[in-house]
Every structure is written in C-alpha cells, then in structure tokens.
Structure 1
C-alpha cells in the first residue's frame, strides 16, 4: 500500500520558495539584459543574495533558463488547452468565433507576458539545440490541436474535403508566430491587433472553408 504524501516541512517550503524566487529574478534579468549578456551575479543581486545561493539550486545559467521555460510554457499553453473543444464546433461561423476567442487569449497573454514571449521566440532558440527542442515540443502540441480542429471541420462538412490538415495547421501556426513577433514589437497597439485578428481569421476561413 502506498503511503499518503506527507506535507512539506518548513525547510522544504523555504527551499521551494527560494528556487522560485531565483527563477523569477532570472526571468526579469533575461528580459532586461538578454540571456547572453546576463551574469549569475546579475540574477542573485535582485534577491540580495550571493552566488552560492544560486549554485545550491542550479548548475548554470542555462539550467535556470530551462526552469523558466518549463514553468512559463505550461502556464502559457493552459488557456489554449481550455478552449480546445473541436467537437463543440458545428459550423464555419462557429469555428471563426472560436479562433477569434483563441486570438483574444493570445492578446491577453501578451499583455501580461510580453517579456516571456520575447524570451521564448527570440532569445531561447539561440541557446542550444536542447532548448530548441523544448520549443519545438510546444509547437507540436499546438499543431496537434489545430489538426484536430481541421479534421473535425472536414468531417462536419464546413472545411474542404481535400484540405491537407497537417500543412494547414503548420500554415496557421506560422501566421500565429509571425503575429506574435510583430505584436511584441508593438505592445498594446490595438490597431495592429485588430488588423492581425481580421487577416488571420479571414485567411483561415477563405483558405480552408468549403465553397
């Protein structure tokens, strides 16, 4: 019989809190200075701590970047997973509305996580292949969601029966990534957001929709 999980001790809670503080501080400094120009000393100075504190939790700057990505990616995907319900879509108009809801979630995400998005899309891919693989895994997850939507649309008759769902999903994600990079450069610009929202939705509907 498995023993019930024991509550964390005070020491364990403090250790977890310190680690979380280091991750948060590193994310802030990476956003301000850039990953490659950040030193360990820059990170720990945010907490008024010494470098020994950092090395009790992480072996390197790269390892703390990985911890940032793991925590941020999970939080960033959650809103989209919550809207992932292709079986509930019965028409092209409903699909457009759902896609619009997802884009609105992207905009809301950018309002709160602009620095994180920039770190993910611009800085992190240049660190090493393993970090790049983490980001590719995210796109694979999102691509699978989009494929599911296109497949359901074909089954229900509002998307073209000859649609290559894999290629369509990659094209849709490509539009999304391009939009993210542009919007990061224009934070809070509602005009740019409205233009991208219209273009992306029109492209999806006209490209995939049944005549």
Structure 2
C-alpha cells in the first residue's frame, strides 16, 4: 500500500469546487493578497454562519473591504465558496504524512496514513461540517463531492488488490467493495469524532486522538485479514 491515507488518493482526485465558476488569478501581488484575504474571510463566515445564512456583506465586513472590492474578484457567494473549497482541499489531499518507507510493514503505513488523515480532518473540522450541509442542499456540489470520493475508493481498491497479490490480504475480498466500505468508514468516523461527537457526548469520557487512530487502523487491518 502506498504511503497515503486510506481516505486519500496518491494522484489528485477531481476538485470539490466548481472550477467553472473561478476566474483567473490576479496578476499582481496586491491583487493576490486581497483575493486571499477575501477567501479567508469567506471561510470564516461560512463556518460561523453556515452557507445559507452567510451574506456577502458579512464577508466584506470580515475582510475589512468594500463591496466594490469584492466584486473585483468574485461575482457571487457561489463563486467565492468555490474559491474557499479550491484552497482548503489541498490540506485534505496532502495532509503532510510522515515518511514511511515503501517496504515498511503495511500496518505501519496504514497507521501513519490514518494519523495524517485525522490530523487534517481535525484542522478542518468546521469546514467538513459545512461541506455536509452544502451537499444536502446543492446537487451540483453533491455530485462533485461524490466524484472525489469515488476517486479515493478506486485508489484504495488498487492498494488492496496489490496487498492481495503479495499474499498479505484476504484474497476472497472484492477489492472495490472492500475499499468502498473501509473508505466510507474512515470518512464517517472522522466526521463523527470531529464534527458530531463534541456536541452530543457531554458527560461521557471522550476517546483520545490516539484511540481514534488505533481503532481505525485495527478495524482496517482486521477487515483485510492483513498479515504483515
């Protein structure tokens, strides 16, 4: 298995952003800084208020700029939301996993991959909650998101098939179905732990981050009957 997260692809998957909405980047340093400030402000507002309740005036106020400045770079709330996604998804696709040797124990690779994936999820927890909301109300975004998830599934299926050919994983599993189940498990576990659980587990002893990584890795390894 290559050293990338079970929730990720080794090659860049399709963008979650509707890139047809995005304009060319500014050609000056000042323009790039102003645009970046607007995108950062929009992310703050979207995460704070939700997509539906966010207004352009809230974004310009957060960025300390005028409406005229906003329209120099973006035509609508939809367009700046696409820019927010285009910027933020890089952290989720390339979360900075520590180096693991290609010939290392595949269990160690999965553990390091899960750690990097959940660390990135933790950094982007508010955004991930926002994406869930938008996917429920915007069919176009829901389709883009599904295409990206499918790219992850196909990548992980190739890794599972490679482990089977090496005699390390259960040869009776269908690689694509196994990948779909395990990739979905990792994604929903991240959402439950970082987005949902903090608001519903009051009074309970919270699981630690290490518990999360250990449990996800053990479930992945046991499901494949992996023999390092």
Q: What range is the shorter-chain TM-score in?
A: 0.7 to 0.9
Alpha-carbon distance in 1 for matches of 2:88, 2:100: 19
Alpha-carbon distance in 2 for matches of 1:29, 1:139: 26
Greater displacement, 21-30 / 176-185: 176-185
What is the CA deviation profile of residues 148-198 of structure 1, one whole-angstrom value per residue up to 9, with x for unaligned ones? 2201101100112221010111111111121111122356x9724334333
Number of residue equivalences = 195
Structure of higher CA gyration radius: 1
What is the CA deviation profile of residues 56-89 of structure 1, one whole-angstrom value per residue up to 9, with x for unaligned ones? 211111111111111111231013788798xx35
* Structure 2: runs of 5+ lacking an equivalent: 1-25, 199-204
The equivalent residue for 2:12 is none
Q: TM-score, normalized by length of structure 1?
A: 0.81
| Deviation beyond 4 Å, 4+ runs, structure 1 | 80-85
Higher relative contact order (CA 8 A, sep 6+): 2
Alpha-carbon distance in 2 for matches of 1:116, 1:198: 25
| Alpha-carbon offset, residue 126 of structure 1 | 2.8
The equivalent residue for 1:119 is 130
Secondary structure in structure 2 of the residue aligned to 1:35: coil
1:70 aligns with 2:86: yes
Alpha-carbon distance in 1 for matches of 2:96, 2:103: 15
- Name the CA shift for 1:53/1:126 in 2 (closer, same or farther; >3 Å): farther
Match of 1:138 among 112, 124, 148: 148
Q: TM-score, normalized by length of structure 2?
A: 0.75
Give 1 or 2: higher helix fraction.
1
